Amino acid sequence: QSVLTQPPSASGTPGQSVTISCSGSGSNIGSHYVYWYQQISGTAPKLLIYRINQRSSGVPDRFSGSRSGTSASLAISGLRSEDEADYFCAAWDDSLSGPVFGGGTKLSVL
């Protein structure tokens, strides 16, 4: 059971928008920066969003991050086939004194 909660799957058709949620608590998302990672099948994770809403170098502006209270979201607009991947949220956790991840969301582009 992951400390941060994500839906196991999400889907959309090309051109659509999709939002992936990440739920935590006051000891992690509520008080620390949130990070999002994209992992395409068979490859290492790649930093997508840092400090809640900052896009990593080379990440298109179709990707955006936000936080509200103890939850965070990753929004992807104008879905493309190459967005098909697993997406993980992460935040530092004061109770565990270390980073924690969400269980991951598998995004399918139909």
Partner 1 sequence: EVQLVESGGGLVQPGRSLRLSCAASGFTFDDYAMHWVRQAPGKGLEWVSGINWNGGSTGYADSVKGRFTISRDNAKNSLYLQMTSLRAEDTALYYCAKDVNYGGTLGVAGFDPWGQGTLVTVSS
Chain positions contacting partner 1, by CB under 8 A: 2, 32-35, 37, 44-47, 50-51, 56, 88, 90-92, 96-104
- CB-nearer residue toward partner 1: 76 or 105: 105
CB of 77 to partner 1, least distance (A): 23
* Helix, strand, coil shares, percent, the chain, to 5: 5, 50, 45
- CB-nearer residue toward partner 1: 43 or 81: 43
- CB-nearer residue toward partner 1: 8 or 14: 8
| Cβ count near 83 (within 10 Å) | 20
- CB-nearer residue toward partner 1: 12 or 36: 36
Token pair 């959309």 in the structure block, residue? 12
CB of 98 to partner 1, least distance (A): 5
Residues 6+ apart with CB under 8 A from 13: 79, 109, 110
CB of 67 to partner 1, least distance (A): 13
Strands 54-55, 9-12: pairing is unpaired
User: How far, in whole angstroms, is CA 90 from its chain's centroid?
Assistant: 8
